[in-house]
């Protein structure tokens, strides 16, 4: 094919055909190592340019000598040959492997030599910066290895200090130097100062086993055994959910706390997405885990949240009193009740509440509503107003009921009860009456665009009078990190919300979206959610969370939403609604909708994937037909909501934001986590202050939702936020958007999109257990977005590679955990 294309080009030169032919020949050689093909390419591309290439290389080497450590190899000895294809495109050839490097860089060393041969560095204004880009990886990793070796030998001399200074120069974003300081302070017995230096490292590398063990040791020395147990619990969780297997034994005081199943310790063994479930433990059993339990009729334990804690009840939307608590008791009595409950229709009601036998509720200008829940079946309560008039009633067990109060009232009971924060029934002109955020989980905007929006006519009609972002992309490929980015405006590597299998908690310095809305005076409610953001603090600003782990159907959600809007029409509501209608489920599977069961042939109906996570599901008719039906059904159900909104609110009284956290793989021919179908996510909005622009081409990503809502409702967006306001809303907008997949035991994947191009980047080495990466070797592809045609342009590729390395710089560092045994020895001595 390559030869044929070259022959076609001879009569009338066509550059595109010529490049396609040359690349085809290179791929063919890589597969067969045909000597004739290689000789043809040498004669066609290499020999005519060899003299100029060598001269360019020698000139560039002389220019960069002052900025490079060591000596560069002579032209004849470098490990690659470069084949110029056209003015802005050339392909290196690896002498060792006898392969053309097409879309793959074996090392930064190769990339440097390629640049020295093909670029004219006399045109570079900052040669020091150019050199640093190519060698900081290699220099930093060599120095890290030398530092670790000296730590092993306890060789802390002047050379060690020099190594630390050099390392800091090349790797300022790494925590290794800070950790060495912590270790030094620990050895000197300066434990409080060591703690002060260690905690910021933990905030940057929450999944580093070395840092967890260091903190456990420090707290032991400070005799704070509760905190020591907490970090040792994190350490165990880390080991159970990763390949890191290290030996470490806490002292007797910490062991005692853990043997008592201290809640703080038990909580951290639970996966971050399964509130209100927690794990009870037994250190004397080999697997450490006894069974799962569930918080109910008590506070949701979370030591990192002080004061406004969630109290756990069961949601009763119209059932018999006490029915759900009795059902819960029956399920839990079977053993391992928490896990079993995930697969039932139990719905939890998490409320910001306090406990007691009495409470006095003050009422000022406006009536208030007080939520109350009992801890006993048919629990008697008494209301007593300021005139000493009394009304007796009762509360169902572990189910919240709401009562309207018009005057100061004392509420009392003989038994313990939970009372939520009073809800003031008041509207402020500074607020909207309704801000509604609808997350449609896994709604693939890439697929919807290709289908010309035909499955969602009502959604399009409603948001056409607002803004529909056609080029919105998720930062992450699955819900846990994506939701955290939406709710904070911060990329996963910065907020450290990366792995759902390990307990994490958002740093208090980051203000969540619900916290911002609470500060503005909104009553903040999740009418439907899956508790993904509860244990980790992402949802900590909510007053109430109605949650179920799997069954988040729009039909049920709309019933709850209409009830809520009618109940609290007199106050200003911020409502979050998480729907999974368009999310294909995984591993154990879930029932497809009835039309899918009856419309498909037996062959298509029974083609089913088992034990496959949702991000890896294949393009099967069973999946696509069912998902398309669910989209149409969702559209019809939301049409009723839109009709209600228009009927009950003026345009300037509400804001509706609808978005998805990611797409799905089932519409892609091949599974690529960051594909258009899997990564292009819905984002649309309508209401007061939002211009009626319809579909817009602004490039956005899920981090932008946070500052967009800030602009909508008027809260100040913190400087640390990674999201930006799009140009169509008066902001600076984005030139490109970045999506990535950072998952333990997988290679790191990143995709950059601008108006024209899609650049795919992937490391060849897998991600470290502490989620740092080694990008010293990687592969890439540059594509046109409109049709995914491969683009061969060295200048453009260099541009995107530098963007990629700038984005990953904070976690593209040597891992402490790679050498954990060395530092573990220090901690155990």
Q: Assign residue 788 a region: left if phi > 0, alpha if psi is -120 to 50, beta otherwise?
A: left
| DSSP letters spanning 345-364 | ---EEEEEEEEEEEEEE---
3-state secondary structure of 162: helix
Please tell me which of 34-43, 145-154, 329-338, 519-528 the model is most confident about, judged by mean pLDDT: 519-528
Instruction: Report the pLDDT value the prediction gives residue 153, as an integer from 0 to 100.
Output: 72
pLDDT-based confidence at 306, cuts 50/70/90?
very low
Instruction: Report the pLDDT value the prediction gives residue 304, as an integer from 0 to 100.
Output: 45
Helices H / strands E in the chain, number of each: 28, 27
Which H helix or E strand runs over 757? strand 757-766
Q: What is the pLDDT of residues 471-501, one digit of tens each?
A: 999 999 999 999 999 999 999 999 988 877 6
Given a contact cutoff of 8 angstroms between Cβ atoms, the answer to whether 749 and 767 are in contact is: no
Low-confidence winner among 302-311, 426-435, 525-534 (lowest mean pLDDT)? 302-311
CA torsion 697→702→708→712, rounded to 10°? 110
The answer on pLDDT for 394 being more than 90 is yes
The answer on pLDDT for 109 being more than 70 is yes
Euclidean distance between CA atoms 22 and 7, whole angstroms = 11
3-state secondary structure of 369: strand
Q: To 5 degrees, how large is the angle CA 353–CA 359–CA 361?
A: 90
Euclidean distance between CA atoms 237 and 231, whole angstroms = 10
Mean pLDDT, residues 752-768: 94
- E-only strand ranges, 633-692: 654-659, 683-687
The token duo for 179 is 């950790």
Which H helix or E strand runs over 393? strand 390-395
The token duo for 127 is 């040669």
Instruction: Report the pLDDT value the prediction gives residue 318, as an integer from 0 to 100.
Output: 83
The answer on pLDDT for 633 being more than 50 is yes
Euclidean distance between CA atoms 381 and 700, whole angstroms = 52
CA torsion 202→205→208→214, rounded to 10°? -20
Average pLDDT, the chain: 87
Q: What is the pLDDT of residues 648-683, one digit of tens each?
A: 999 999 999 999 999 999 999 988 999 999 999 999
pLDDT-based confidence at 769, cuts 50/70/90?
confident
């Amino acid at each position: 094919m390559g030869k044929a294309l070259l022959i076609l080009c001879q009569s009338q030169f066509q550059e595109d055909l010529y490049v396609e032919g040359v690349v085809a020949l290179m791929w063919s050689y890589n597969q067969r190592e045909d000597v004739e093909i290689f000789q043809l390419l040498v004669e066609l591309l290499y020999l005519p340019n060899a003299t100029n290439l060598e001269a360019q290389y020698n000139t560039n080497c002389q220019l960069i000598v002052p900025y490079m450590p060591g000596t560069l190899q002579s032209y004849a000895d470098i490990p690659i040959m470069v084949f110029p294809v056209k003015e802005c495109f050339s392909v290196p050839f690896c002498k060792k492997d006898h392969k053309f490097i097409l879309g793959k860089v074996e090392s930064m060393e190769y990339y440097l030599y390629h640049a020295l041969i093909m670029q004219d560095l006399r045109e570079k204004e900052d040669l020091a910066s150019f050199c640093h880009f190519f060698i900081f990886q290699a220099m930093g990793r060599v120095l890290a290895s030398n530092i670790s070796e000296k730590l092993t030998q306890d060789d802390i001399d002047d050379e060690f200090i020099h190594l630390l200074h050099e390392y800091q120069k090349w790797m300022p974003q790494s925590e290794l130097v800070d950790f060495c300081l912590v270790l030094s302070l620990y050895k000197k017995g300066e434990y409080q100062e060591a703690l002060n230096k260690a905690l910021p490292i933990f905030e940057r590398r929450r999944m580093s086993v070395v840092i967890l063990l260091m903190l456990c040791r420090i707290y032991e020395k400070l005799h704070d055994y509760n905190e020591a147990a907490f970090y040792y619990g994190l350490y165990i969780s880390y080991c159970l959910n990763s390949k890191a297997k290290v030996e470490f034994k806490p002292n007797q005081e910490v062991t005692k706390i853990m043997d008592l199943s201290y809640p703080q310790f038990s909580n951290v063994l639970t996966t971050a997405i399964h509130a209100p479930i927690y794990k009870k433990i037994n250190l004397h059993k080999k697997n450490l885990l006894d069974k799962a339990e569930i918080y109910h009729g008590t506070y949701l334990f979370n030591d990192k949240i002080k004061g406004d804690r969630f109290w756990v009840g069961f949601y009763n939307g119209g059932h018999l009193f006490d029915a759900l608590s009795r059902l819960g008791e029956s399920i839990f009595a079977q053993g391992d009740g928490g896990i079993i409950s995930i697969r039932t229709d139990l719905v939890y009601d998490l409320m910001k509440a306090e406990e007691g036998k009495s409470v006095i509720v003050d009422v000022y200008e406006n009536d208030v509503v007080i939520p109350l829940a009992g801890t006993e079946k048919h629990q008697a309560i008494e209301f007593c107003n300021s005139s000493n008039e009394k009304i007796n009633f009762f509360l169902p067990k572990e189910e919240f009921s709401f009562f309207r109060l018009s005057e100061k009232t004392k509420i009392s009971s003989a038994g313990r009860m939970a009372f939520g924060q009073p809800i003031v029934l008041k509207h402020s002109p500074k607020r909207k009456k309704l801000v509604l955020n609808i997350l449609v989980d896994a709604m693939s905007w890439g697929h919807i665009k290709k289908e010309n929006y035909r499955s969602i006519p009502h959604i399009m009609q409603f948001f056409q009078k607002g803004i529909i972002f056609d080029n919105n992309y998720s930062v992450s490929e699955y819900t846990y990190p994506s939701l955290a980015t939406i709710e904070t405006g911060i990329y996963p590597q910065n907020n450290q919300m990366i792995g759902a299998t390990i307990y994490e908690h958002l740093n208090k310095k980051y203000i969540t979206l619900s916290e911002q809305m609470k500060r503005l005076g909104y009553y903040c409610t999740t009418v439907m959610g899956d508790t993904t953001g509860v244990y980790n603090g992402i949802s900590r600003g909510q007053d109430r969370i109605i949650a179920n782990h799997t069954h988040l159907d729009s039909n049920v959600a709309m019933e709850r939403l209409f009830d809520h809007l009618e109940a609290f029409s007199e106050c200003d509501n911020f409502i979050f609604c998480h729907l999974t209608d368009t999310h294909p489920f995984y591993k154990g599977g879930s029932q497809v909708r009835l039309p899918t069961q009856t419309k498909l042939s037996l062959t298509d109906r029974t083609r089913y994937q088992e034990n496959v996570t949702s991000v890896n599901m294949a393009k099967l008719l069973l999946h696509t037909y069912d998902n398309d039906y669910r989209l149409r059904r969702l559209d019809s159900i939301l049409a009723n909501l839109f009709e209600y909104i228009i009927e009950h609110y003026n345009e300037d009284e509400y804001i509706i934001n609808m978005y998805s956290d990611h797409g799905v793989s089932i519409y892609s021919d091949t599974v690529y986590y960051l594909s258009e179908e899997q990564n292009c996510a819905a984002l649309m909005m309508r209401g007061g202050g939002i211009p009626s622009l319809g579909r817009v081409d602004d490039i956005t990503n899920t981090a932008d939702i946070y500052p967009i809502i800030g602009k909508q409702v008027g809260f100040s967006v913190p400087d640390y936020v990674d999201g930006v306001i799009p140009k169509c809303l008066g902001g600076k907008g984005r030139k490109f958007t970045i999506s990535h997949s950072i998952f333990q035991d997988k290679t790191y994947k990143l995709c950059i999109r601008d108006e024209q191009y899609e650049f795919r980047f992937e490391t060849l080495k897998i991600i470290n257990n502490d989620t740092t990466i080694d990008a010293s070797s990687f592969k890439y592809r540059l594509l046109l977005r409109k049709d995914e045609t491969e683009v061969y342009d060295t200048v453009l590729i260099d541009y995107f590679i530098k963007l990629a390395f700038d984005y990953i710089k904070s976690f593209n560092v040597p891992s402490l955990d790679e050498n954990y045994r060395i530092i573990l020895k220090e901690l155990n001595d």
